[in-house]
Amino acid sequence: MANTTFSGPVNSTNGFRTTGVNITADTTLTANAHSGRVVRVNDADCKVTLPAITADNIGTTYTIYIETAATDLDIKTDGTDKFVGGLYTGVNNATGKTFISGASNDVITMNGTTTGGLAGSFVTATAITTAKYVVSGIILGSGSLATPFADA
C-alpha cells in the first residue's frame, strides 16, 4: 500500500478501518507493516521487537494483543531505546498492581502468571522521542504479581 500525505484536515464520513496482523513467531515490527494496526500474538514464547526509533517513526503506535497465553513472551526494543510509562497487571479476583518502567528497562517479559500475559492482555507502545517508547496497557496474570519490566 502506498503512503499518503495530507496537509490540512481530513474528514471521513464513514470512519477509518485498519486490519490486524497475526504473529506466530519471533518478529521485528516495522512502521509500514505494523503501526496503527492491532498486532495479534499467537506464539506463547516469541520475541516481538519494536523498531529502532528514528526521526521518521516518532509518533508511531504499536498495539500488541496477546491472543495465545504467554509462557515466555517478550516485547522488547533494540536495546538502545527504553520504555517509560506503566502497565496494570490484573488478576481474576479483582486485584492487581501497576508497574512503572525503570529508566533502563528495554524488555517487557510475560509468563502468563506472575508477570501477566494471559489471553486478552494488551500493550500499546508509542515512539515519543529519541530513544523512548511510552507504554501502557492491561496485562492479565495470576498469583503473586511481579513487574514485567526488565533490562536485556
Distance CA 152, CA 147 (A): 14
pLDDT computed for residue 17 by the predictor: 75
Q: pTM of the entire structure? A: 0.90
Amino acid identity of 134?
Answer: V
pLDDT computed for residue 95 by the predictor: 86
Distance CA 99, CA 131 (A): 20
Computed over every residue of the chain, the mean pLDDT equals: 93
Which residue from 73, 49, 59, 43 is spatially nearest to 140, judged by alpha carbons? 73
Q: What is the pLDDT of residues 95-109, one digit of tens each?
A: 899 999 999 999 999
Which residue from 82, 87, 86 is spatially nearest to 117, judged by alpha carbons? 87
Name the DSSP class of 134: E
Are 34 and 16 within 8 A, CB to CB?
Answer: no
pLDDT computed for residue 73 by the predictor: 98
Amino acid identity of 6?
Answer: F
The residue ranges of the chain whose pLDDT is under 50 are none
pLDDT computed for residue 2 by the predictor: 61
Domains and their CATH numbers in the chain? 21-150 (2.60.120)
pLDDT computed for residue 94 by the predictor: 78
Name the DSSP class of 52: P
pLDDT computed for residue 8 by the predictor: 81
Are 75 and 121 within 8 A, CB to CB?
Answer: no
Residue 96, all three cell numbers: 492487581
Residue 23, all three cell numbers: 504473529
Dihedral sign from CA coordinates of 26, 135, 114, 79: positive
pLDDT computed for residue 13 by the predictor: 84
pLDDT computed for residue 10 by the predictor: 79
